[in-house]
């Protein structure tokens, strides 16, 4: 990437950030969000405070019973998502874009469902905050190819509410 391309990317990211902040406030998780976060069908080379790219989300085939080891691994992966969601919620809100490889940054696609009810219940159990996340799979047309991308919306915490913190940390600091 040359200096001119890098400057264009920075300008695009800055204008996207302002537009994204507005969309977060409106509770929008439409295709418009992905147009901003995947300009010209390409992810930014970086992540900012309003978005994070993920290759996948923890997924369990409906009706499949996890072994103890699989359940532990699934719970750890859900813990990572909870950490990201709480971090976004405590700042400006934001989006997790699912189906983007980290290194090298590239679009992979992702077409699996995700149980936001389970996520929201787990978040409440850990923080006693009701964070109303939403998940949708978008079908994008990029260079005449259809690619599915998951989008997890995280609202911004109201200023009047205290930040969400894991209760286990609170309990440790009290004792």
Q: Output the pLDDT for position 137.
A: 98
Q: Output the pLDDT for position 168.
A: 59
Write down the architecture of domain 3-174 according to CATH. Answer: 2-Layer Sandwich (3.30)
The segments of the chain whose pLDDT lies below 50 read: 1-8, 10, 169-175
Q: Output the pLDDT for position 15.
A: 74
Q: Output the pLDDT for position 170.
A: 42
Q: Output the pLDDT for position 21.
A: 93
* Each residue's pLDDT tens digit, 98-137: 999 988 999 999 999 999 999 999 999 999 999 999 999 9
Nearest to 105 by CA among 168, 151, 53: 53
Q: Output the pLDDT for position 18.
A: 87
């Amino acid at each position: 990437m040359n200096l001119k391309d890098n400057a264009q990317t920075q300008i695009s990211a800055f204008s996207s950030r302002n537009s994204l902040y507005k969309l977060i406030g409106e509770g929008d998780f439409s295709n418009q969000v992905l147009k901003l976060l995947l300009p010209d069908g390409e992810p930014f080379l970086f992540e900012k405070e309003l978005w994070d790219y993920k290759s996948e989300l923890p997924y369990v085939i409906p009706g499949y019973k996890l072994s103890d080891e699989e359940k532990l691994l699934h719970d750890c992966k859900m813990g990572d998502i909870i950490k990201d969601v709480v971090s976004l919620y405590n700042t400006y809100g934001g989006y997790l874009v699912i189906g983007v490889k980290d290194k090298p940054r590239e679009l992979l696609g992702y077409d699996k469902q995700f149980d936001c009810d389970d996520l929201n219940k787990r978040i409440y159990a850990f923080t006693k905050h009701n964070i109303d996340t939403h998940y949708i799979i978008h079908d994008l047309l990029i260079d005449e190819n259809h690619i599915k991308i998951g989008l997890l919306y995280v609202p911004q915490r109201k200023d009047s509410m205290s930040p969400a913190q894991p209760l286990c940390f609170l309990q440790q600091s009290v004792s």
